[in-house]
Amino acid sequence: MKHLRHALWVASTICGIAVAQAELRPDQQYQGGVQVKSSTLGISFTLPKGWLGAYKEEGGQAVLVLGSNSVEGVGLVIFMKDQTPAQVVAGLNEAQDLGAGVVLELVGSVRTQGSRVTARYLNSQYVGRALALLGSRNHVIYFYAGPQKNEALYGQLLEGLAGSTRFQAPVAARPQPAPPAPTGVARQWTQFLAGKMLKYFSSYNSGGGGGGISEQRTLHLCSDGRFAYLDESLTTINVPGATASSGGNGRALGRWRIESATQNSAVLLLNVDGGGVERLRVEYDGDKTFLNGQRWFRVESDTCR
């Protein structure tokens, strides 16, 4: 199923803070034993105790990744919106590509009993178990994969999730009100930044071949009011006979606008999808652009359309 490789990639990049609220929100984590719900999909269930859930929405795909500190394996909760039961079954009929060369082949056939759809997958080392529940409009797939020795436990976890699942009528998401159109100096700043990419570079070398740190930050400010931010860093350590390096990246999407504008400066407001607000002071001296006092290069965006 194509969703699984994407879901496992999400597991390696997701970050957030554990919260007590039950509503699933992007980039948030939820403790085991908590009942969570997606009001817009009309689906709720209880997380298994001892398993931390991390929720992500990416490219129209919603997935909750489950991990445990005591049990080997990974669990996935994949939400299927506006798809037919036949499409769910077709996805489960495919081999499960978990990435890193790990592919689980379907054993036997997918079984459908009423609103339940089950499947089993296997290779020489790992086993995968899937249990899908079909709703009237939206559906949910529970999936666990890991060492074959844990198969019985995976089955119990799936049944626990299924037993706690409830379907309700979906609640339409409230549209966000459009911000007021910029006027005067704010409009000039908006036109100055719209469709542009702001890029910042930073590097440090310890000298003597000992290594260093490099960072690149990119902010795309699209004309439709959307923004995309990417922060990439690389740390290199050199010691006699060995070299080590580690990298990281962060990213955010959302909407942007200008406020508190004057002729020489303004505040760039970034409303991050899923919650969070950032305010950056932007300045222009007639030649160079600065964010919070740091020089950023301003060029045409290669991401905005």
Q: Where in the chain is the domain with CATH 3.40.1000.10?
A: 2-167
Q: Residue with structure tokens 């948030």?
A: 28
The CA-atom distances, in angstroms, between 219 and each of 41, 184, 222, 277, 298 are 32, 24, 10, 15, 10
Among 50, 47, 81, 64, which residue's Cα sits nearest to residue 161? 47
Predicted confidence at residue 171, as pLDDT, reads 80
More confident residue, 209 or 280: 280
E-state strands within 124-165 = 126-134, 139-147
| Burial label, 293 (beta-carbon count in 10 A; 0-12, 13-18, 19+) | exposed
Among 172, 169, 87, which residue's Cα sits nearest to residue 135? 169
Tell me if 234 sits within 8 A of 214, measured CB to CB: yes
Confidence of residue 99 (pLDDT cuts 50, 70, 90): confident
CATH topology of domain 2-167: Protein Transport Mog1p; Chain A (3.40.1000)
d(CA 303, CA 10): 21
pTM for the predicted model, two decimal places = 0.56
* Mean pLDDT confidence for 146-175: 90
Is residue 4's pLDDT more than 60?
A: no
Confidence of residue 55 (pLDDT cuts 50, 70, 90): confident
Is residue 5's pLDDT more than 60?
A: no
Q: Which of 41-45, 86-90, 183-187 has the lowest mean pLDDT?
A: 183-187
